[in-house]
Amino acid sequence: MPKKATSAPTPAADPTAYTHQDKRTYIPSETEAGAEQFNPKVQGHSTRLLDKNPVVHRGQDPELKWLGKYEHEGEDRPDYLKLDIRSLYRHEHVRPQELMSRLYRERLAQANAQLGLFGQDYQTVDELDKPLSYYQHHAAWENRLILGDSLSVMTSLLEREGLDKKVQMVYLDPPYGIKYGSNWQIKLNNRTVQDGKDEHLSSEPEQIKAFRDTWELGIHSYLSYLRDRLLVARELLTESGSCFVQISDENVHLVRNLMDEVLGSSNFIGLVIFQKKGSQSGDFLPPINEYLVWYAKNKEQAKYHQLYVERNLMGVGGSGFTNVELADGTVRTLSKEEAFGLNDLPKGAKVFRYNPLFSDKPGPNEPVTINGKEYPSGGNSWKVSPKSIPKLFESGRVIAQKSRLVFKRYAKDFPAVEINNIWLGLGGATGKNYVVQTNEEIVKRCMLMCTDPGDLVLDPSCGSGTTAYVAEQWGRRWITIDTSRIALNIAKTRLMTASFPYYHLYDEAGQDIRQGFRYKEVPHITLKSLANDEPPASEKLYDQPEEDKKRLRVAGPFTVETLQSLNPVAPEELETPPEELESQAQFEGRVFAGLTASGVRNGAKNEQAVFLRVERRASPALPAEGYWRDAEGRERKAYFLLGPRFGTVSKSQVNEAVKECRQLGDADWLVVLGFSFDDAIENREQTTSAGTFQVTRARIGEDLLQEGLLKKDKKAASFVTIGEPEIGLLRDEAAGTATVEVRGLDIWDPINNRLAARSVDDIAYWMLDDDYDGSNFLVRQVFFCGGEKGEFKKWRAKLDGQASATAKKKAEQTLRIELDEDAWERLYGFRSHPISLRPGRRVAVRVISQFGEESTRVLAL
């Protein structure tokens, strides 16, 4: 029997997402979009030059030299970086609020649709639902998760989308060095990577260029990689903006030099040292710390908020607070048990320390008379007017010692302490789901120090999405980038299922998040305020906004984007302009080298075809052929269709390739290589028989678009076959609904020449657009069949964490949410929520494997 929903409380608001007033332009236009695919009929592709050493050339700082810094010495301007400007294309819309609404009764969600998504009513048609308007109109700001080389993406943000001087904070957490150990992982649900194990490297299906053990020129390539991204980051930063680079001691000295060159030594703000590990083995001093190198775009205009931590008598801010004043006025020494909190202080007791009354600055020797005795300042200036000191003595705040006067400072005068550049006790991330995940507290401190709600934060090295997650929590806009599909899928899952406290806005009526939050404030009693009879100053605690515990907040809508256009181009339109021929030839060379080094993989161990040789052909439909050996040692032949670098492999391209391969009749395999594939490609054209040969789609790793960081032996190149999901459609004509069922994922084993079903456990999650318009994939349903039922645990804990059924019911009514237990059960299965049958309605199903592979099927209801 289906489980019944809990009893209905009074209808109220949906889970809330903050609204950002800023707009973003959806580009490129149709003209620019065509240019990305080398359409000779359309113009729009361009380049830009950036000075590689803007500060050095102004004679401000010395220069760091490395191999390849000026890689094209023969060119007219080798000291300038040539940026190839591409455009970004929307791949998915993710609306966590709508996903959450599926988990409680539908009628309640509909009743509360007025709040909508980021202030929009998702029951009505908005700009995002118009299938042809994405590149042509403005829309409400949406955060962005982008797959691709960070340099290409940042350049696009700079040149195509007008984000020049719009980013308030850049947080760059690059690989710390040139060794791969613990810099990446091979599966979404498995963080086990053993340093130096080549089988881990060679079995990684989505190998990431930035996470490699050997870059082409070692540390020299590493420095070029960082330099190029810092140059573009500098252009993106506002004048008040900040740039943080997280690094270990292995290369912190080089990074500091590099940032001096790009941003200028005069804009250096500080070097933060934070403790990441409690212990670490090593031959010499165990390294337990890492660093944040902090530079401003313009130090004189840099935005800065002072952060505080709670005073700890035996830790931060506790130095000197060793005395206790009892209620009767007597003074004694603070015991260790009291300092550690093991024993309570007597009622009315106050902890204090003695502070000097004069500063280090020289000044006139003005003695102060207390009880008929003169106390000189010793040639230094008094911290307050000497006339006010007797009054402070009468109030008990000044103590007369043998030869000097001291100020009695109570610990409660200001219970907080300014944070400095040494952050202890933070450790690594808790609940890690990515091997190089950063502690949220580290990113949070950086963000709160130099940004305000509504400011834009950019992270060119997404990883597990910690920067985006923290930005979402604190109401900042965000853009994050990565070349790894595994990393982005982890980040996407983390953001889709996140829940956050709802902080009261300063402008609660206007709902303008740019006005900030209402923060907790604490009084700051100082010697000056006491001496001048002034009220104590008040300090804002930027990490403690006022929380509304009756509201539940989720992540706002965000898009998933790529550098590859999703609009396929017909084969006859594919023509490479003369200026692109050289880079196109280099790209093809990297592809062919990768096929002969690591081959085509399907994610399963020992099921990869490494090609003995790959040769070019004159045919546009089949530009290359190659040979590999099967399990019996027989040499077999394959043809390759190579899709565009910045476009989508179209159905017509595949048809032409299949047709020519069939005419030639001498191959066992047709491999369709591409970064993106048209959803219209039929099932019969994917990893299946086309008569005498097999046809397989294989996704090219994004790393092959990146120059200069190729592994010397080329084994890190990645070509991964896309598993074909088996999808069932279950119709209930009586109820007028249908459900989608994922039944498996088939992959082809090129060595044993067979089609094999992959375990359903290898499906990480799957998504559904239950009203697909053929262009925009809106994630309306999501299911974590390979999960551990913990994706929504924070959200569910709002109810299930209550002590009793009565308390749980009360919490339900506080949040005005009526849970649908059947929907919760479906979250971790292979069957969708019911979908209303309607003529012409289409459903798009997107399946993501644990290896980061992604496949989409479109079904007609």
In total, the chain counts a number of residues equal to 861
Alpha helices per DSSP H over 264-361: 336-339
Specify if 680 maps to a domain: yes
Rounded mean pLDDT of 782-787?
A: 75
Average pLDDT over residues 711-715: 43
Is residue 691 domain-shared with residue 736, that is, in the same domain? no
Query: What H or E segment, with its residue span, contains residue 407?
Result: strand 405-410
pLDDT of residue 754: 63
Query: Which pair of structure tokens corresponds to residue 489?
Result: 């899928």
Asked, for residue 655, whether it belongs to a domain, the answer is yes
Omega cis (within 30) before 28 = yes
Residue 644 CB partners (closer than 8 Å, separation 6+) = 37, 38, 564, 569, 574, 674
Mark whether 709 and 739 lie in a shared domain.
no
pLDDT at 237 over 60: yes
Same domain, 601 and 577: yes
* Statement: residue 428 has pLDDT above 60: no
**261-275, 421-435, 438-452: which has the minimum mean pLDDT?**
421-435
In a shared domain, residues 688 and 664: yes
Mean pLDDT of the chain: 76
Average of per-residue pLDDT across 593-604 = 76
Q: Are residues 695 and 756 in the same domain?
A: no
For residue 139, pLDDT over 80 is answered with: no
Q: Nearest CA to 847 among 775, 719, 770, 760?
A: 760
Residue 575 belongs to what domain range? 570-722
Q: Which residue has the higher pLDDT, 701 or 124?
A: 701
Q: Which of 808, 788, 810, 781 is nearest to 797 (CA)?
A: 808
Give yes or no for residue 646 having a pLDDT over 90. Answer: no
**With contact defined as beta carbons under 8 Å apart, do 474 and 453 qualify?**
yes
Tens digits of residue pLDDT in 379-389: 788 999 999 99
What pLDDT sits at residue 83?
81
pLDDT in tens, 301-314: 999 999 998 888 88
676-690, 718-732, 782-796: which range is least confident on average?
Answer: 676-690
- 665, 731: one domain: no
Q: Please tell me the number of Cα atoms within 13 Å of 141 on its side-chain side.
A: 18
Q: Do 717 and 775 belong together in one domain?
A: no
Give the pLDDT of residue 815: 47
Smallest CA-to-CA distance from 722 within 764, 675, 781 is with 675
pLDDT for 683:
42
- The pLDDT confidence band at residue 268, using thresholds 50, 70 and 90, is very high
Name the pLDDT band for 522 (thresholds 50, 70, 90).
very high
Domain final residue pick, 358, 386, 413:
413
HSE value, Cβ hemisphere, 13 Å, CA-based, for 347: 0
Q: Which amino acid is at 52?
A: K
Residue 258 has pLDDT above 90, yes or no: yes
Q: Is the pTM of this model over 0.85?
A: no
Q: Is the pLDDT of residue 454 over 70?
A: yes
Statement to judge: residues 841 and 700 lie in one domain: no
Assess if residue 442 is contained within a domain. no
Is 437 part of a structural domain of the chain? Answer: no
Which residues are paired to 50 by β-bridges? 81
Is residue 151 in some structural domain?
Answer: no
The answer to whether residue 117 sits within a structural domain is no
- Taking the C-alpha atoms of residue 697 and residue 671, their distance in angstroms, rounded to an integer, is 6
If asked whether residues 857 and 761 sit together in one domain, one would say: yes
Q: Cα angle at 417 between 416 and 422, to 5 degrees? A: 145
Gap between the terminal Cα atoms of the chain: 27
Give the per-residue pLDDT at 92: 87
More confident residue, 612 or 210: 612
Give the pairing type, strands 456-459 and 167-172.
Answer: parallel
% of residues, the chain, pLDDT over 90: 27
Asked, for residue 84, whether it belongs to a domain, the answer is no
pLDDT at 802 (0 to 100)? 42
Q: Are residues 729 and 643 in the same domain?
A: no
Determine the Cα–Cα distance for residues 228 and 55; give it in Å rounded to an integer.
14
Q: Is residue 556 part of a domain?
A: no
Query: Number of folded domains in the chain?
Result: 3
What distance in Å separates the CA atoms of residue 62 and residue 47, rounded to the nearest whole number? 29
How far apart are alpha carbons 379 and 366 in whole angstroms? Answer: 8
**Of 13, 16, 8, which is closest to residue 552 (Cα–Cα)?**
16
- Among 690, 722, 754, residue at a domain's last position: 722
Q: Taking 80 as the threshold, does the pLDDT of residue 202 lie above it? A: no
Whether residue 332 has pLDDT greater than 60: yes
> Do 330 and 406 belong to one domain?
yes
Tell whether the model's pLDDT for residue 463 goes beyond 70.
yes
pLDDT digits 0-9 by tens, 144-196: 999 888 998 999 899 888 889 999 999 998 876 555 443 444 455 554 434 33
On whether both 855 and 763 belong to a single domain, the answer is yes
Least confident of 111-125, 252-266, 743-757: 111-125
* Domain boundary, last residue among 396, 413, 430: 413
Q: Which residue type does 122 have?
A: Y
pLDDT tens by residue, 473-518: 999 999 999 887 778 888 888 898 888 888 888 887 777 888 889 9
Residue 753 confidence (pLDDT): 61
